[in-house]
Chain A
Amino acid sequence: SQQGEEDPQALSIQEGENATMNCSYKTSINNLQWYRQNSGRGLVHLILIRSNEREKHSGRLRVTLDTSKKSSSLLITASRAADTASYFCATDGISEGAQKLVFGQGTRLTINP
């Protein structure tokens, strides 16, 4: 079964630096998505990249997808204290209609002021 796995598991950087998180998966996908979760809160959808896309930008976020390596990266530029959260990648299979997501373990990102 497909599985999203992020690395590193934890990342601590200084405010203003860039943060890069990686995700690998095992089987063919339709889309790959990144979510943020603040402590004790729900999942906030950040960005979706389709299997035929290689790079996507949204504000300070940049996502890349390499389907040949079955991997994706999330880059947050000019990090802020408010970016402190856990970040998850989630993959869905090649299907239509309902989108069953498989989540990775997540990366805990801490931005130090």
Chain B
Amino acid sequence: EPEVTQTPSHQVTQMGQEVILRCVPISNHLYFYWYRQILGQKVEFLVSFYNNEISEKSEIFDDQFSVERPDGSNFTLKIRSTKLEDSAMYFCASSEYSRAPYFGDGTRLSIL
């Protein structure tokens, strides 16, 4: 069964450093997403991406965040200057038109 893959599984970064989380969505999917889950809290929507541009973003997705699809297969989330409160699990997801998203296993981001 096709799956969304995310790398790395765990990223440890010093506060203030830039971090890039990587995702390979399912190949025939057109819609891409990032969600995050702070430990013990609910999963929160960050951003959706379609046709090489952001289609929707949440209040969490401020100027420190950016997304990119640098080639035909990868989808990345960049946090420019990390803060302690950015520590969370970050989930990438992809979907076909109006279909349920498939999620990756997530990247655990720890900011020290």
B interface majority secondary structure = strand
- Say whether B43 contacts A98, CB under 8 Å: no
Q: Is A101 an interface residue (CB 8 A)?
A: yes
| In the complex, number of A-B residue pairs with CB atoms less than 8 Å apart | 60
- Say whether B103 contacts A100, CB under 8 Å: no
- Say whether B42 contacts A103, CB under 8 Å: yes
Say which residue of A33, A41, A44, A99 sits within 8 Å of B98 (CB atoms): A99
Identify the A interface with B (CB < 8 A).
30-31, 33, 35, 40-45, 48, 88, 90, 96-106
Instruction: Tell me the minimal C-beta distance from A5 to chain B in angstroms.
Output: 9
Say which residue of A41, A42, A98 sits within 8 Å of B31 (CB atoms): A98
Identify the B interface with A (CB < 8 A).
31, 33, 35, 41-45, 48, 50, 55-56, 91, 95, 97-106, 108
- Say whether B45 contacts A100, CB under 8 Å: yes
- Say whether A97 contacts B43, CB under 8 Å: no
